[in-house]
Amino acid sequence: MGLWDRITGEFIDIIQWTEPSQNEVLSYRFTRYKNEIKNGAKLIVREGQAAAFVKEGQLADVKGPGTYTLDTNNMPILSTILGWKYGFESPFKAEVYFISTRQWTDQKWGTQNPVMVRDPEFGPVRLRAFGSYAFKVTDPGTFLRELVATDPSFEAYEVTNQFRNAIVSRFVDVVGSAKIPILDLAGNYEKMSKLALDKIGPELAKMGISLTQFFVENISLPPEVEAALDKRSQMGVLGNLDQYAKFQTAEAIRDAAQNPGGFAGLGAGIGAGVAVGGQMAGTIAGAASAPGQVAAGHTQAPATPPPMPTAASYHAAIDGAAAGPFDSTALAAQMKAGKVGRSTLVWKPGMANWVAADTVEELRPLFAHLPPPLPT
């Protein structure tokens, strides 16, 4: 401290602290030359502040909001520590710490790593949680002794990590002891917040801190568990899976019929359609024979298996006339007899015109052993 600070310290008789708005300062030590305070000096403590006097390493007194004249009349504890026969006629040495007692809001907390808990429905699962809290200094003397000590400027970041560790540790205890099912946690955030507040409060009180608010904003599961729950929800929305399977089969038949080259797919689709039709017929017959005995949402299995699907048959232009219809086996016999070739025109129900046999997708395997036509 320079000469000017020493000279001005002899004349300054007002002790006060204006908190900086840009910093989160919880405690500030008032600076005076050699910590000398004149007899009759004015102490101004604003709302949301407290002033603590420390003499020879011992907490002497704590003042709340107000304006004070520093003399032996209003500081008996300090005068006892000083023990001067002259009282406060001469400047006395004492450290003055201003402590912010306002509420500090929007402080964040969260679990850095997933927490393992046991759920009554899903068994062991891992949870993550985060939220916010608010705190304030309610016991300046304890706060000074336990945290500030001799720090000339004690800021919030120096203690918030400790707060978060205590909060997460006690919150895990709350989740484990509450025994609330995972699927019900979303509707019990308020209850969880209150339980955590009651559990964490005594821990911070040991440091002169009061936890004024505590909020649980989110409790989440690992992505793979959430995906499994989504699948389970989809199954619940579908409801009757038997009806859903029939609907999917009908959709497959429609798609196969719209594909002109999909002979195998069409055959499978027709077979599936016949199977579904037979099942539905059996269900209707069972319902007609025993009315009122079939429970809602349940169907009876058919008494006999459905008929096998039949392959498509084609007409062929042989010797200038339409012959047939021929299935694939009969067409193969006509080919061996030399009556049907690649360029033979064929037609079946559903086709608009006669086309060459080797242009039909499902007939091409019949010509696999034949050489292609000679180039012209």
Among 49-53, 160-164, 274-278, 336-340, the range of highest mean pLDDT: 49-53
Following CA atoms 240, 246, 251, 254 in sequence, which dihedral angle do they give, to the nearest 10 degrees?
Answer: -160
pLDDT of residue 296: 46
Instruction: Please give the single-letter amino acid code of residue 50.
Output: A
- 73 pLDDT above the threshold of 60: no
pLDDT of residue 83: 44
Q: What is the mean pLDDT of residues 74-80?
A: 52
pLDDT of residue 63: 92
Is 0.75 topped by the overall pTM?
no
The average confidence (pLDDT) of the chain is 76
- 363 pLDDT above the threshold of 80: no
Looking at 115-212, list the stretches that DSSP marks H as alpha helix, in order from N- to C-terminal side: 140-143, 157-178, 189-205
CB proximity list for 166: less than 8 A, separation 6 or greater: 200, 203, 204
> Cis bond leading into 325, ω under 30°?
yes
pLDDT of residue 8: 44
Q: Is 320 left (phi over 0), alpha (psi -120 to 50) or beta?
A: left
- 223 pLDDT above the threshold of 60: yes
Question: Percent of the chain beyond pLDDT 70?
Answer: 72
Is the distance from CB of 109 to CB of 170 less than 8 angstroms? no
Identify the bridge partners of residue 124 per DSSP, sorted by sequence position.
Answer: 118
pLDDT of residue 144: 93
Q: Could you give the CA distance from residue 335 to residue 363 in angstroms, rounded to a whole number? A: 12
Point out the least confidently predicted range of 152-161, 187-196, 243-252. 243-252
Q: Could you give the CA distance from residue 338 to residue 318 in angstroms, rounded to a whole number? A: 10
Q: Could you give the CA distance from residue 219 to residue 8 in angstroms, rounded to a whole number? A: 57
pLDDT of residue 211: 92
pLDDT of residue 35: 64
Which tens digits make up the pLDDT trace of 129-140? 999 999 999 999
pLDDT class of 108 with cuts at 50, 70, 90: very high
Please state, in angstroms and as integers, the Cα–Cα distance from residue 279 to each residue in 284, 291, 310, 333, following that order. 9, 17, 18, 37
Q: Which CATH class is domain 104-226?
A: alpha beta
pLDDT of residue 332: 79
56, with CB counted inside 10 A (0-12, 13-18, 19+), is exposed
- Domain boundaries along the sequence of the chain: 3-100, 104-226, 240-285, 314-367
Point out the least confidently predicted range of 52-56, 167-171, 174-178. 174-178
- 7 pLDDT above the threshold of 50: no
